[in-house]
Amino acid sequence: MSDTFAALVVVSGVAVIGTLAMMVSHAATTAGVSVEAEAGKLASSAKLQNDSKASGGKAVLFSNTSSSSSSSSSTKLTNLPAQSATLMYYGNTTRGAAYEHPGAIVVTGRGNYADPTFKAISAAGGTVLVYIDPLINEVDGTYDSMLLHASSCGAAVPLWPGGPEANSSGYLNDFRVGGIEQSKLKCVLEKVVADNPDIGGFFADDLGSRSWYPDFDWDTWGATNQQAYRAGAIALMQTFRQVADEHHLIVIVNGTWEAGTLAADGGGYPDMNQSGNALADGGFVEHHDASELAFWKSYACSKQWASQSSVTHGVAFNWAVETTDSDRAAYAATNCFAFVNNQSTANYDYAPPWGSFHATGLPTKVTK
């Protein structure tokens, strides 16, 4: 689970896909320029620029339907009205049978992703997301171990220089551009896909453009670390997007990508001055009550969300988890969230549906 301001994600600056990360780092070092500047050059030459139209930073309500085309079919995407969702990190997953409906969405834990319940949800038309946290060194499952320990995907991932502690769950991984983790992530994600043909995508925890971890101070961490953190997060997100697009899957991100400066806010992607993550199909707002609703409504309704996804094509599927039914209803009423639920951290094993389901058009299994 996340200790970040778990929220809708945006990545600003330019990211580099998979093994291109090492090329960027080397080129930037040789030329004496910033990693993000060099990444921008490579992205431009590879024609990876965002082609979406800027909204000028203004909040806009969701477009609740769109058509997502592939070589074989055209699927109608519908992100409204908001409907139930649940995290199922641990515990008795058989209760998840209540989510065996088209349009339902659930997130597995680190070790229970192969449970029959999740296969049944997929077969019924629901979307199952596998949980992955690439930022801290907590190992509690096959894919954590494959990513962070020495494995067929590469060498063990070291800690960030200085070994900053993130939270009670672990220390910060060295996910800087050009590092070991950047070169391993695609291999691990491909293994997740190969092992789990019934999934609809990934839930990337803690992945934002700045840190809100409680055990080190972002404000005093220094510009060099801040820039490296942001650039590394962008590169990781690019890899998630690359693998998701290859297999027609989605990525929901839990971490902030808030419009503004790097030092204060982290910034959005690709436009730092807009909230939203062009590479994410949606973000996750975690336990922010209705007193903060004005901010999160603007954040979630940013047109930058999903604008670089070849799966949802700018139709965002954001998710807010609250701790009271009244807050859940308030977030649903904004028309900026496709999924809302009432689920405290202590109950991240299951939240019962609060209403009926409707089809979303999101992927329910690996199709490529």
Domains of the chain: 20-347 (3.20.20)
- Is the CB of residue 18 less than 8 Å from the CB of residue 297? no
Separation between Cα atoms, residue 357 and residue 100, nearest integer Å? 10
Instruction: For the chain, list residues with pLDDT below 70.
Output: 1-74
Could you give the CA distance from residue 218 to residue 264 in angstroms, rounded to a whole number? 9
Q: What is the largest CA-CA distance in the chain?
A: 57
Question: Which pLDDT does position 64 carry in this prediction?
Answer: 59
Give Cα 43 to chain centroid, integer Å: 21
Both tokens of 6, joined, read 């778990």
Instruction: Return the structure tokens found at 291.
Output: 């007193």
Chain-centre distance of CA 222, in angstroms?
25
Alpha-helical regions (H) of 157-207: 180-195
Give the span between the Cα atoms of 305 and 314, in whole angstroms: 6
Q: How many CB atoms lie within 10 A of CB 109?
A: 20
Distance of CA 254 to the CA centre of its chain: 5
In this prediction, residue 75 carries a pLDDT of: 76
How many Å apart are CA 128 and CA 115, to the nearest integer?
A: 11
357: tokens are: 């389901």
Q: For 201, left (φ over 0), alpha (ψ -120 to 50), or beta? A: left
Confidence at residue 130, expressed as pLDDT on a 0 to 100 scale: 98
Q: Could you please report the per-residue DSSP string of 220-239?
A: GS-HHHHHHHHHHHHHHHHH
The answer to whether the CB of 148 falls within 8 A of the CB of 157 is yes
Beta strands 282-286 and 250-254, pairing class: parallel
Burial 51-67 (b: 16+ CB within 10 A, else e): ebeebebebeebeeebe
Backbone φ and ψ of 189, nearest 5°: -65, -40
Alpha-carbon distance of 64 to 317, in angstroms, equals: 10
Q: How far apart are CA 58 and CA 301, in angstroms?
A: 8
| Amino acid identity at 87 | L
User: What pTM does this model have?
Assistant: 0.83
